[in-house]
């Protein structure tokens, strides 16, 4: 497998397209209008409950600014929302490099857009397992798949993409975008990437520790019918 090594990047990157899919929706009510004030032409891609929350925040502006991921990719979400963002067009948008001709040709071929900021936080696995009535099946259902993938992809491509996992960072991001006329700096993107990988590492550690404490008897006890 060949690894592509980047030589040319931009320090400042204009935030034109943002992908938002969060379990913790706190702060969006101020963050979204602030983004729009900085860049009235910004495009937001979103899914499920996050989409509905942002639609309420935007009001009549949502039809212009907000797009469901399923409409963007052309692939409807699975029933129950099991698969929403695991799509080639999404990851091409996140991982694409500005000065890579092959990547740019792929964007044109798929009618895709570079995604400049990814705002994702994960299913509440740790909060779930701390409940008195938590079962291994409840824990399994709260293992996020698409979220960690998007976080890792955007953090990997911090040369261009801002990976945001913590609502506490919203204010500083808005401050930087205001100062830089809607652009993120490499310094900020790298800092956010450091935090993002720490976030997914902690999430995976919690899952591994929980499963490591269980026996096969604990697992079998969750199900009334095992064929």
Q: State yes or no: pLDDT of 65 exceeds 90.
A: yes
- DSSP 8-state assignment for residue 74: S
Q: Which domains does the chain have, with CATH numbers?
A: 12-124+146-214 (3.40.50.1380)
Q: How far apart are CA 173 and CA 21, in angstroms?
A: 17
Q: How far apart are CA 218 and CA 99, in angstroms?
A: 52
**Cβ atoms within 10 Å, residue 135:** 16
Query: How far, rounded to the nearest angstrom, does the alpha carbon of residue 60 sit from its chain's CA centroid?
Result: 25
Q: State yes or no: pLDDT of 2 exceeds 80.
A: no
**pLDDT for the residue numbered 94:** 97
When pLDDT is cut at 50, 70 and 90, the band that residue 86 belongs to is confident
Nearest to 51 by CA among 35, 75, 73, 71: 71
Averaged pLDDT, 90-108: 93
Q: How far apart are CA 180 and CA 11, in angstroms?
A: 11
Q: Are 163 and 190 in contact (CB under 8 A)?
A: no
**pLDDT for the residue numbered 55:** 97
Q: Are 9 and 36 in contact (CB under 8 A)?
A: no
When pLDDT is cut at 50, 70 and 90, the band that residue 105 belongs to is very high
Mean pLDDT, all residues of the chain = 93
Q: Residues 209-220: pLDDT tens digits?
A: 999 999 999 999
Percent of the chain residues topping a pLDDT of 90: 78
Q: Pull the structure tokens for residue 64.
A: 């212009």
Q: Are 36 and 65 in contact (CB under 8 A)?
A: yes
Q: State yes or no: pLDDT of 135 exceeds 80.
A: yes
When pLDDT is cut at 50, 70 and 90, the band that residue 53 belongs to is very high
């Amino acid at each position: 497998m060949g690894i592509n090594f980047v030589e040319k990047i931009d320090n400042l990157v204009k935030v034109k397209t943002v992908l938002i899919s969060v379990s913790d929706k706190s702060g969006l009510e101020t963050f979204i209008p602030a983004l729009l004030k900085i860049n009235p032409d910004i495009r937001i891609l979103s899914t499920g409950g996050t989409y509905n929350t942002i639609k309420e925040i935007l009001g009549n502006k949502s039809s212009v600014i907000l797009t469901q991921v399923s409409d963007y990719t052309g692939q409807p979400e699975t029933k129950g929302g099991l698969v929403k963002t695991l799509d080639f067009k999404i990851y091409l948008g996140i991982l694409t490099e500005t000065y890579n001709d092959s990547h740019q040709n792929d964007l044109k071929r798929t009618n895709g857009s570079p995604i400049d900021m990814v705002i994702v936080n994960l299913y509440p696995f740790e909060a779930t397992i701390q409940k008195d009535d938590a079962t291994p099946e409840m824990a399994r259902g709260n293992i996020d798949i698409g979220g960690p993938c998007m976080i890792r992809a955007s953090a990997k491509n911090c040369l261009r993409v801002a990976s945001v996992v913590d609502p506490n960072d919203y204010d500083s991001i808005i401050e930087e975008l205001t100062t830089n006329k809607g652009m993120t700096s490499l310094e900020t993107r790298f800092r956010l990437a450091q935090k993002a990988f720490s976030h997914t590492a902690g999430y995976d550690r919690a899952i591994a520790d929980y499963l490591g404490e269980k026996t096969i008897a604990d697992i079998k006890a969750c199900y009334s019918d095992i064929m």
